[in-house]
């Protein structure tokens, strides 16, 4: 009786040992292929992911900033904080002889771009760049500015459109009913703003970003 019992116990011990070895082997295989649920991503992978995200957002912001800089670098950008001209830089012009008018005309000798000149007339003198509606007024302005060293002065004429759609208008909104263009003007090509020549008093197209003295009417 003792021998069969001893054999049975020995067989059971061998079976249990074999089962435990198979289970350990299976667990080792499973652990090699899967990660615990609470295990974190390796630091190197996290840093690479953050670098990719920062790089993407950075390039987008950079493109927006480039666009903003490009829009700001337009030649006709107006500096609204520019101080008003000094009194010694201005000359009060005489009105048209023999004509009663409440309008006054002021020559500003400090050169400015067209848009800035118009803003100066509005902000400093509550007026506009001068609009000219007669030969007499044009002659009077010419006589007042012909002593300047500059060859041209801004008046309030603007040009819009091209070809058959080209139109002329005054910045004060008045009707375009008079012109005194120089020979060959207004040419097909040229600036979009109108300047009066200090020699002869004729008008020419000029680039609006050019800095010229100007005449305000108020």
End-to-end CA distance of the chain: 134
Residue 209 pLDDT more than 80? yes
Output the pTM of the full model. Answer: 0.63
User: Rounded to an integer, what distance in angstroms lies between the CA atom of residue 159 and that of residue 138?
Assistant: 19
Answer yes or no: is pLDDT of 35 > 70. Answer: no
Instruction: Tell me the pLDDT band of 169, cut-offs 50, 70 and 90.
Output: very high
> String of b and e for 163-187 (b: at least 16 CB within 10 Å)?
eeeeeeebbbeeeeeeebebeeebe
Domains of the chain: which residue ranges? 2-72, 87-217
How far apart, in Å, are the Cα atoms of 1 and each of 9, 13, 35, 50?
13, 19, 52, 74
pLDDT of residue 95: 63
**For residues 148 and 141, what is the distance between their CA atoms, to the nearest angstrom?**
12
* Residue pLDDT, tens place only, 105-159: 999 999 999 999 999 999 999 999 999 999 999 999 999 999 998 999 999 999 9
Q: Is the pLDDT of residue 18 over 80?
A: no
CB 209 within 8 A of CB 75: yes
Choose from 26-30, 34-38, 40-44, 132-136 the range with maximum mean pLDDT: 132-136
Judge whether residue 48 has pLDDT over 80.
no
Please state the φ and ψ torsions of residue 119, each to the nearest 5 degrees.
-65, -40
pLDDT exceeds 70 at position 210? yes
Higher-pLDDT residue of 58, 143: 143
pLDDT of residue 38: 35
Q: Select the more confidently predicted residue: 38 or 144.
A: 144
In this structure, the chain runs to a length of: 218
**CB contact set of 42 (below 8 Å; sequence gap of 6+):** none
Percent of the chain with pLDDT over 70: 60
Say whether pLDDT at 25 is over 50.
Answer: no
Q: Which of 168, 169, 151, 159 is nearest to 191 (CA)?
A: 159
User: Considering the domain 87-217 in this protein, what is its CATH number?
Assistant: 3.10.100.10
Q: Name the average pLDDT for the chain.
A: 74
Q: Give the per-residue pLDDT at 67.
A: 34
Least confident span in 78-87, 124-133, 179-188, 193-202: 78-87
Confidence of residue 164 (pLDDT cuts 50, 70, 90): confident
């Amino acid at each position: 009786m003792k021998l069969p019992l001893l054999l049975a116990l020995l067989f059971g011990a061998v079976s249990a040992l074999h089962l435990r070895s198979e289970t350990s082997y299976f667990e080792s295989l499973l652990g090699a292929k899967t990660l615990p649920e609470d295990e974190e991503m390796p630091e190197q992978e996290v840093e690479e992911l953050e670098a990719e995200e920062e790089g993407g957002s950075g390039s987008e912001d950079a493109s927006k900033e480039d666009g903003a800089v490009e829009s700001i670098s337009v030649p006709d950008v107006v500096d609204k904080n520019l101080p008003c001209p000094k009194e010694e830089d201005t000359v009060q012009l005489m009105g048209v002889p023999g004509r009663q008018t409440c309008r006054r005309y002021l020559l500003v000798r400090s050169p400015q771009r067209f848009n800035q000149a118009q803003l100066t007339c509005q902000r400093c003198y509550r007026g506009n760049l001068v609009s000219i509606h007669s030969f007499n007024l044009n002659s009077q302005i010419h006589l007042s500015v012909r002593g300047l060293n500059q060859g041209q002065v801004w008046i309030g004429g603007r040009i819009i459109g091209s070809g058959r759609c080209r139109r002329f208008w005054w910045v004060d909104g008045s009707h375009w009913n008079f012109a005194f263009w120089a020979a060959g003007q207004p040419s097909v090509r040229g600036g979009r703003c109108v300047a009066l020549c200090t020699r002869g008093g004729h008008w020419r197209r000029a680039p609006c970003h050019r800095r010229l003295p100007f005449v305000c009417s108020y």
